């Protein structure tokens, strides 16, 4: 009788397990990319190099739980309680208050090898007893172990440690405690002691890279048993409010299409777009050489939104807000009144100060806070901090995000020199709905500048080349419209 | 339960205070206590005190002496504080750990 014959498969009467329960971490964006947070009642490994944000991840997870009905225990093996409290306070977490109200407990576990002599057999029952005691004190549902690998530095019997860690994770699981276990990145392994071997439910890798003196932080969900998750590397940032992950949507093209149109801010330009302006929630690219009034046109667009009573957000990467407001006053715009009224927000930053991801992350935060209906990014070309692909993917994600939020976005882009098409445009242009090209007119022609629409999806638009001049009342068309030679792109 | 075994008190200055942390009454705990008593009787007769602490009964006591492994022996007096973990089966190492015998030339030599 062949040995391979198996007993008949048991009929599957077991009902399909319900979707994996998840608990929120309160980390902006993270709960979105994981479809709800961390697996409930299971351990999750969070690993990465020094300073990658592991401790913060763990802390935020606990504080969020503590303030939302799930008490937690923070077990620190490296930082003293005092240091941890200090760090937490810098993020505005009232950890002492949470401890007082028994929503949170801190347990500092120190194992100093130089103080310890080992002789004969032992186990880590002392650790279990301490954790059990701490968990009971606050009736915890969550725990963070940061960084349990430190035990390996303090105790020499790795065999015992491994067996005990395995037992510990099983013990936590049995009690239904949602755990975050941090680990330091090893040379060839995710963690120095190979903790990934014991924690098989969910593994998250944090990464902190510095390229061209600009730091970028990324997060990746390496494994999430029983749950679908994005496998991308998600940029994240650490700022005064803690950790925030950018839910980089996977360019799914599921945006609702609206036929609502909004003004460009200039009658004559609206005219060129079939008399109605841009589509709401579309993306507009203004590209042109230096001094072709890109910023001015974008400011008119912002002004029009404020006039309609909407909120507008401007990311300004070349000028400070007062400088910008002053300069726009010279072309007939009084933006300060919108700022005072609270309908216009200007976020200025030096593009080289941070990495692309950080910018993207900050933009997300600003957008979340301001909830604008239109946003201007001026200029896009200042993001040179990464490779072409990096810039491109960042812009794609930004466009996608803005569309998803129903925000009409305008990007300006500087074409250096003569104005030959640049890489960034080529990459991004497929995501852009309306593309306006601005040029300095050849000497002797009217107006000094001209504008043409390279494409504008889904609407009739002018294929003329319009000359205009910049006056103290704004951009004003001059002379007759000229038909543009052959080139005309766009579906529509 | 804190079982105090006091063997003939001398002046408090040279008294040794040793705390043995265990978890329940396991064979390992019993062995550790046995081993410790034997060593003390031989080397510290009349000037030691052993405090046995069962962490299952007093879990809150694990924190103060930073106990992780059991059994753990803590030398409270004389200072400095010393810790020895395990069932204390190797008397030689226990003596070294308690500074009752000079450390042999190993990795870290102490003066």
Alpha-carbon distance A438 to A432, whole Å? 16
Task: Give the closest-approach CA distance of B108 to chain A in angstroms.
Answer: 9
pLDDT of residue A404: 82
| pLDDT for the residue B102 | 79
Instruction: Please give the pLDDT value at position A247.
Output: 60
Contact B59 A118 (CB under 8 A): no
Query: Which residue's structure tokens are 């009929």?
Result: A11
| A116 contacts chain B (CB < 8 A) | yes
Locate the DSSP E strands across chain B: 2-6, 16-22, 48-54, 72-77, 82-85
ipTM score assigned to the predicted complex: 0.84
Q: What is the pTM of this model?
A: 0.69
Distance CA A206, CA A192 (A): 15
Q: How many CB pairs under 8 A join A and B?
A: 95
What residue of A is the nearest CA neighbor of B23? A125
pLDDT of residue B83: 93
Contact between chains at B70 and A123 (C-beta distance less than 8 A)? yes
CB contacts, 8 Å: B21 with chain A: 126
Six token digits for residue A76? 């620190």
Interface test with B, best of A126, A128, A138, A158 (most B CBs within 10 A): A126
* pLDDT tens digits in sequence order for chain A, 492 residues long: 444 444 444 444 444 445 689 999 998 788 888 888 999 999 999 999 888 899 999 999 999 999 999 999 999 998 888 888 988 888 888 999 999 999 999 999 999 888 889 988 999 999 999 999 999 999 999 999 998 888 988 899 999 999 999 999 999 999 999 999 999 988 888 888 888 888 878 999 998 877 666 667 889 998 888 877 766 778 788 877 788 887 655 445 556 677 899 999 999 999 999 889 999 989 999 988 888 899 999 999 999 999 999 999 999 988 899 999 999 999 999 999 999 999 999 998 877 666 666 777 788 888 988 999 999 998 887 776 556 666 777 777 788 888 888 899 999 988 876 444 455 555 677 778 899 999 887 776 666 888 999 888 888 888 888 889 889 999 998 877 666 544 444 444
A78 is catalytic: yes
User: What pLDDT shows up at residue A4?
Assistant: 46
Determine the residue of chain A that is closest to B93 in CA distance. A119
Q: Which of residues 19-58 of B touch A (CB under 8 A)?
A: 21, 23, 28, 31-32, 35, 55-56
Query: Known catalytic residue: A260?
Result: no
State whether B70 and A125 contact (CB < 8 Å). Answer: yes
Nearest-neighbour CA in chain A from B105: distance (Å)? 15
Catalytic, out of A32, A78, A81, A319: A78
Pairwise CB contact (< 8 Å): B69 & A129? no
Residue reference for tokens 């590209």: A287
CB contact under 8 A, A110 and B66: yes
- If one counts every other C-beta atom within 10 angstroms of the C-beta of residue A36, the result is 18
Contacts of B90 in chain A (CB under 8 A): 119-120
Cα-trace Rg, chain B: 14
How far is residue A179's CA from residue A310's CA, in Å, rounded to a whole number? 44
d(CA B100, CA B103): 9
Are B84 and A119 an interchain contact pair (Cβ–Cβ within 8 Å)? yes
Location of structure tokens 């980089």: A248
Q: Which of B68, B73, B102, B110 to probe the A interface (max A CBs under 10 A)?
A: B68
DSSP B26: -
- CB < 8 Å to B72, chain A: 122, 126
| Position with higher pLDDT, A392 vs B42 | B42
| pLDDT, tens only, B65-90 | 999 999 999 999 888 889 999 999 99
- Contact yes or no for A122 and B67 at CB 8 A: no
Taking CB atoms and an 8 Å cutoff, what residues of chain B touch A80?
A: none
Give the pLDDT confidence score for residue A2 in this predicted structure: 44
Give the pLDDT confidence score for residue A255 in this predicted structure.
Answer: 63
Question: Count of alpha carbons within 13 Å of A223, Cβ hemisphere only?
Answer: 15
Chain B residue whose CA is closest to A109: B66
**Burial (Cβ within 10 Å: 0-12, 13-18, ≥19) of residue A126:** buried
Check CB contact under 8 Å for A121 and B86.
yes
Per the CB < 8 Å rule, is B90 touching A111?
no
Give the residue from A260, A235, A262 showing the smallest Cα distance to A246. A235
- Between CA B71 and CA A120 the distance in angstroms is 10
Q: pLDDT band at residue B1, thresholds of 50, 70 and 90?
A: very low
pLDDT value of residue A490: 45
Nearest CA in chain A to B110: A114
Residues of A with Cβ-Cβ distance to B68 under 8 angstroms: 109, 111, 124, 126-127, 130, 151, 154-155
A233, A310, A318, A445: the active-site residue:
A318
């Amino acid at each position: 009788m062949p040995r391979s014959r198996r007993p008949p498969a048991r009929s599957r009467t077991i009902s399909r397990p319900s979707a994996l329960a998840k608990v929120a971490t309160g980390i902006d964006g993270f709960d979105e990319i994981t479809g709800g947070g961390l697996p409930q009642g299971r351990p999750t490994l969070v690993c990465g190099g020094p300073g990658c944000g592991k401790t913060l991840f763990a802390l935020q997870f606990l504080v969020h739980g503590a303030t939302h009905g799930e008490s937690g225990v923070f077990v620190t093996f490296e930082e003293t309680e005092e240091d941890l409290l200090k760090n937490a306070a810098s993020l505005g977490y009232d950890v002492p208050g949470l401890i007082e109200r028994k929503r949170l407990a801190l347990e500092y576990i120190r194992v100093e090898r130089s103080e310890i002599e080992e002789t004969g057999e032992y186990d880590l029952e002392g650790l279990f007893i301490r954790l059990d005691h701490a968990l009971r004190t606050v009736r915890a549902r969550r725990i963070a172990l940061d960084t349990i690998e430190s035990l390996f530095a303090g105790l020499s019997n790795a065999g015992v440690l491994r067996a005990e860690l395995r037992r510990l994770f099983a013990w936590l699981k049995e009690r239904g405690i949602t755990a975050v276990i941090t680990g330091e990145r090893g040379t060839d392994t995710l963690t120095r002691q190979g903790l990934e071997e014991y924690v098989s439910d969910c593994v998250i890798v944090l990464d902190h890279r510095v390229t061209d003196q600009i730091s970028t932080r990324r997060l990746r969900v390496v494994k999430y048993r029983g749950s679908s998750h994005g496998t991308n590397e998600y940029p994240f940032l650490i700022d005064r409010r803690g950790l925030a992950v950018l839910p980089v949507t996977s360019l799914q093209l599921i945006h609702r299409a609206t036929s609502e149109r909004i003004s460009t801010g200039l009658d004559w330009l609206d005219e060129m777009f079939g008399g109605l302006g841009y589509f709401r929630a579309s993306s507009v690219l203004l590209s042109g050489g230096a001094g072709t009034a890109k910023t001015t046109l974008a400011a008119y667009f912002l002004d029009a939104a404020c006039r309609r009573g909407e909120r507008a957000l401007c990311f300004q990467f070349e000028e400070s807000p007062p400088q910008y407001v002053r300069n726009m006053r010279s072309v007939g715009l009084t933006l300060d009144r919108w700022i005072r009224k609270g309908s216009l927000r200007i976020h200025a930053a030096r593009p080289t100060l941070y990495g692309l991801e950080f910018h993207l992350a900050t933009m997300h935060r600003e957008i979340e806070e301001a909830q604008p209906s239109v946003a201007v990014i001026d200029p896009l070309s200042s993001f040179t901090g990464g490779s072409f692909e990096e810039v491109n993917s960042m812009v794609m994600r930004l466009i996608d995000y803005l569309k998803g939020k129903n925000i009409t976005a305008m990007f300006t882009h500087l074409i250096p020199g003569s104005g030959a098409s640049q890489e960034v445009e080529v990459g991004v242009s497929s995501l852009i709905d309306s593309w306006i090209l601005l040029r300095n007119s050849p000497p002797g022609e009217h107006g000094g500048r001209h504008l043409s629409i390279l494409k504008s999806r889904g609407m009739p638009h002018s294929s003329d080349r319009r000359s205009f001049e910049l006056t103290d009342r704004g951009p004003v068309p001059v002379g007759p419209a000229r038909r543009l030679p052959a080139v005309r792109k766009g579906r529509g | 339960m804190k079982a105090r075994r006091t063997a003939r008190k001398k002046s408090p200055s040279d008294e040794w205070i040793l705390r043995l942390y265990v978890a329940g009454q396991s064979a390992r705990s019993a062995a550790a206590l046995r081993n410790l008593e034997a060593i003390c009787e031989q080397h510290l007769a009349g000037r030691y005190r052993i405090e046995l602490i069962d962490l299952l009964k007093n879990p809150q006591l694990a924190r103060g002496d930073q106990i992780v492994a059991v059994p753990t022996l803590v030398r409270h007096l004389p200072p400095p504080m010393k810790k020895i973990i395990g069932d204390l089966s190797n008397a030689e190492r226990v003596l070294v750990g308690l500074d009752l015998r000079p450390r042999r030339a190993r990795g870290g030599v102490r003066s």
